[in-house]
Chain A
Amino acid sequence: MQLTDRSKKTDKSDLTVIEKTYWPGVVKGMGITLKHFFSKKATIRYPEQKRYLGPVFRGHHILKRDEQGRERCTACGLCAVACPAEAISMVAAERVKGEEKLYREEKYAASYEINMLRCIFCGLCEEACPKQAIYLRHDKFVPVFSSRDQVIYGKDVLVEDLNDRYERDAWTKEDMAALWQKQKD
């Protein structure tokens, strides 16, 4: 009974004299092995080498600063209310005189914490943010941790380093769609 037409006929005739020495088979097999010496490798040396994961990969969180280096986050709480895992918490504070270069708005996040045990990297915080402050980096993973006190990420870990600014090909959905179209063309 034949259920599919995917089965192949196998050649079950007797081997010839030359084939019985196995040499043709060995040479053919070694040829394939030799070919792979010179072909491009399918693997990379992770973690030294890293692949480009595309501009939409959701990795390590970052609190962006604006062009003048001021923090964008105003502690509005929309990321926390959007977070399905309830991983984000924050405490707001009022900017005082003299801090205008540190914070963009009159309110800022005095503390901003993400519990990485809870975070599911869904990116809803990024979508909810009205100030384009929080992003999930496309180029950096959250590192493996070995104890619980390493997983509450505070502002010391999250806020963008001015000497090593985070750049991305597409910042918004519209940018992404345009990039997508460009790649298609």
Chain B
Amino acid sequence: MEATQLIKVTVDGKTVEVPLGTTIMEAARMIGPEVAPPAMCYYKPLKGSGGKCRACLVKVAQGSEKDPRPMPKLVASCITQAQDGMLVENFSNPDVVNARKGIVEFLLINHPLDCPVCDQAGECHLQDFAFEHGLGTTRYEEERRTFETEDIGDKIQLNKNRCILCYRCVYTSEQITDSRVHGVMYRGDHAEISTYISKAIDNDFSGNVIDVCPVGALTDKTYRFKSRVWFSKPVDAHCTCEKCSGKVNLWYKGEEVIRVTARKNQWGEVEDFICNDCRYEKKKTSDWVIEGPTKTPRHSVISANKYGSNTIKKPEFALKFAAENFKNIEDQREYNKTLEEIKKSEDYKSLMSKNKALLSK
């Protein structure tokens, strides 16, 4: 079997040809964001990531061309390889949509609802995931699990309460930095990012754990509480850096660069990791060559509160909400009729006959 062999995969009725060995997730992403399953732990640039959060569960209605039986359970699309002739149901299957609602509830069991305080709010994957696929309410009444706050240096802020154990930062320090010295300790409900994370942050590329973290567990301490995401303006910029690619986003508040992050692609993934010098030290406009404003999705909150926000396309959720809660305007009123129709009416005729009678007197 050749590695370049192409197979056909159908996701939500849309077919795409992908090389053998591609996962369902990657195949769906090739079709486009309208069928791509959400991902909380899967991170394409990090090898071995995925399969932990279950956010990307899909229904396989037909295993392959040769064996058309459906898979008995929902499968995690980020770690399941696609087969030739596979039929995948994502948003079109009510089981999948329901399962996602459950996943949102599970992820939010121990996640504190402190978005007003959290610096990640507005670019948080869990926020997006819960907003798009969750219920909007909570049934959880018990105490949430909390940890002691731990100081891991002056660059990165760690908040273990917010961690959803996606392992992305673990893979980052293993694959991007020289050596990994932190991981997830204990099991089940007691699992937590290990205390040795403080040792991993001495590395040149340790700042990338901030970018890969899907929630606000790891945030930039130099940016802490400086602004909200939607008040800052992202700009593409680059510089010549010996250690990294130097391609970054600068986040401006007025004239001041308040934060530097790596560039994220359509799926919120960093492709070119940046070094700590670029991230923390170069916070002057003169350090950078500005390329232009970053393209943000128009429905994103990052595009809000800026001039031109009246042109922003309304998100589907808002339109659906409006359609459910408000009536359409019924514009079937009398005055809309044409003059011919009005002349035919009884009211008009009786009025005119009265007028005639008065005039003839």
Which residues of A are interface residues toward B (Cβ below 8 A)? 1-2, 74-78, 80-81, 86, 92-94, 105-107, 130-131
Q: How far is the CA of A86 from the CA of B121 in the complex (A)?
A: 20
A residues less than 8 Å from B355 (CB atoms):
1
Q: Which residue of B228, B230, B304, B358 has the most chain A CB atoms within 10 A of its CB atom?
A: B228
Task: Verify if B114 is at the interface (C-beta below 8 Å from A).
Answer: yes
B residues less than 8 Å from A76 (CB atoms):
115-117, 121, 228
A residues less than 8 Å from B227 (CB atoms):
92
B residues less than 8 Å from A81 (CB atoms):
228, 230-231, 301, 304-305
Q: How far is the CA of A75 from the CA of B225 in the complex (A)?
A: 9
Q: Quick one: given A92-B225, A94-B225, A107-B225, are A80 and B231 in contact (CB under 8 Å)?
A: yes
Q: B342: shortest Cβ distance to chain A, in Å? A: 17
Q: Which residues B207-251 have CB closer than 8 A to chain A?
A: 224-228, 230-231
A-B pairs, top 5 by smallest CB distance, nearest first, are: A76-B116, A77-B228, A92-B225, A107-B117, A74-B116
- Bitwise interface map of B from 294 to 307 toward A, beta carbon under 8 Å scored 1, else 0: 00000001001100
* CB < 8 Å neighbour of B116 from A80, A86, A105: A105
Q: A121: shortest Cβ distance to chain B, in Å? A: 20
Q: How far is the CA of A74 from the CA of B227 in the complex (A)?
A: 12
Q: Is the CB of A131 within 8 A of B225?
A: no
Q: B58: shortest Cβ distance to chain A, in Å? A: 33
Closest chain A residue, CB of each to CB of B359 = A1
Q: Is the CB of B117 within 8 A of A74?
A: yes
A residues less than 8 Å from B226 (CB atoms):
92
Q: Is the CB of B117 within 8 A of A80?
A: no
Q: Which residues B92-148 have CB closer than 8 A to chain A?
A: 114-117, 121
Q: A143: shortest Cβ distance to chain B, in Å? A: 29
* CB < 8 Å neighbour of B305 from A75, A80, A94, A105: A80
Closest chain A residue, CB of each to CB of B226 = A92
A residues less than 8 Å from B228 (CB atoms):
76-77, 81
Closest chain A residue, CB of each to CB of B157 = A94
Q: Is the CB of B225 within 8 A of A93?
A: yes
* CB < 8 Å neighbour of B224 from A77, A86, A94, A105: A94
Q: B114: shortest Cβ distance to chain A, in Å? A: 7
Q: How far is the CA of A32 from the CA of B304 in the complex (A)?
A: 62
Q: A64: shortest Cβ distance to chain B, in Å? A: 15
Q: A171: shortest Cβ distance to chain B, in Å? A: 18
Q: Is the CB of A105 within 8 A of B117?
A: yes
